[in-house]
Amino acid sequence: MTLAPLRASLDRITQITVCTRPFRPQGPRIERVSFGDKALVHHYGHGGAGWSLSWGSASMATDLAMATGAKDIAVIGCGAIGLTTALQLQRAGARVTIYARDLPPATRSSLATGVWSPESRLALQQHATADMKAQWARMARVSYDRYQTLLGLPGTPIEWIDTHNLFSNAPPVPDERPAFAHGLTREMTPDLRAPRITYPAGNHPFGDREVLTTSGLMFNIAAYSDYLLSSYLSLGGKIEVREFYNVTDLSVLPQKTMVNCTGYGAKALFGDDSLVPVRGQLARMIPDGDVHYGLYFNQTSFVPRRDGWVFQVTGANDYYGYGIEDAVPDRAEAERAVTTIAGLFAGV
């Protein structure tokens, strides 16, 4: 294996961003409820799998909304889930208006890592029932198939990359808290797992370690968000910038069917105390066009996005950042992420 070394250093960091993943122990909420004389479809709470599951999840929410018979539908929120839901509704024949306080790149979704991770902080294992797994499999397959149609577009919104996972001899960190749902792809959609190649020491530039290489989808979120927004507007979609302070503010909207895609915002707007914030921080860096591979080593990841390289401390398990709503950037954590990955190329 021959790789172009990373040109990674602290002085090349351009930005440090923090997002809040909207995690629900039960998994995403996708259901229709009555809201006065209106119908409200809840569609939020995807944890770290929002971008990955968005098309399949939006398909389910669209079915619920269109079953009301409405042709004029409101979507609340303009992140990954809101935009894909709006597009799915348009393709089903609806007229759609998006109401949102923030538009890309100011949405929480714009601060995501940007990789295909359909089971990342999706739910706790205790809630992974047979029905939940089947629902997840449907969302994953629809989304995966949709992403294959977006490869090769101008701006490269979606692309395949190889990620090299470097194993160390550090023992796993025990955690007595409930386990997250894992292994869903292996159990439910094994055909969606990309080939994996193991490289023993001496067959790669990373010293006396074993390397497992996997292939996966990467989202260049700036280009991808622009594609979604442009597609929505080209199909006649409307956007109204508006902030909702409580649920009664929704009652004045003219649409009789609404889809709530507010993500973590649903905690305050709808009083959903099941939502738990999971803090995630990215150190963004000037990209180098010669590098088109990802790395994972010592609880740290590197993603070679074209809209800015991404370095991230991921922690020992999915509880890293759990319950933390603080969005203030941590410079020390950012520097640790960069130096951990850059150190792999010392002497190369």
Mind listing the pLDDT tens digit for each residue in 318-348? 999 999 999 999 999 999 999 999 999 875 5
pTM of the model: 0.94
Q: How far apart are CA 265 and CA 22, in angstroms?
A: 8
Q: Rounded to whole angstroms, what are the CA distances from 226 to 57, 89, 154, 303?
A: 20, 18, 11, 20
Structural domain count, the chain = 1
**Residue 275 has which token pair?**
């939502």
Does residue 4 sit within a domain? no
Phi and psi, residue 195, nearest 5°: -60, 150
Mind listing the pLDDT tens digit for each residue in 89-140? 999 999 999 999 999 999 999 999 999 999 999 999 999 999 999 999 999 9
Question: Which stretch of DSSP H or E encloses residue 277?
Answer: strand 276-285
Does residue 169 sit within a domain? yes
Does residue 1 sit within a domain? no
**Running along the chain, 348 residues long, what does each successive block of 10 average in pLDDT?**
90 96 97 96 97 98 98 98 98 98 95 97 97 97 98 96 85 84 95 91 87 96 98 98 94 97 96 96 93 95 97 95 96 98 81
Does residue 51 sit within a domain? yes
Q: Rounded to whole angstroms, what are the CA distances from 347 to 1, 4, 162, 205, 266?
A: 17, 13, 23, 10, 49
Mind listing the pLDDT tens digit for each residue in 204-219? 888 888 999 999 999 9
**Residue 295 has which token pair?**
């790395």
Full residue range of the structural domain in which residue 80 is found: 10-345
Phi and psi, residue 257, nearest 5°: -125, 130
Does residue 5 sit within a domain? no
Q: How far apart are CA 153 and CA 142, in angstroms?
A: 19
Closest CA to 63 of 117, 150, 135: 135
The CATH number of whichever domain residue 309 belongs to comes to: 3.40.50.720
